[in-house]
Amino acid sequence: MSLSRAERFECPYCMTINDIEIDEANDIGQQQIVDCQICCAPIEVLIIDNGFGLEIIAKRDDE
């Protein structure tokens, strides 16, 4: 049984879809810096539980 689940989010730089593995026990409410899989730009990713499921907020590093 896997403890993580695959999700997708859009890169705020190049607008391509990126994959991310989320560990629901540890990643919710945590901010992470991940690199875009296409343009390699640093993305600030925040994963929250909005009551209806997980929401991934991806922002540019310079915002």
pLDDT per residue rounded down to tens, the chain (63 residues): 568 889 999 999 999 999 999 998 889 999 999 999 999 999 999 999 988 989 999 999 777
The domain limits of the chain are 4-60
User: How far from chain centre, in Å, is Cα 60?
Assistant: 12
Predicted confidence at residue 2, as pLDDT, reads: 63
Global pTM reads 0.83
Neighbouring CB atoms inside 10 A of 11's CB total 20
Predicted confidence at residue 62, as pLDDT, reads: 79
Predicted confidence at residue 3, as pLDDT, reads: 80
Predicted confidence at residue 1, as pLDDT, reads: 54
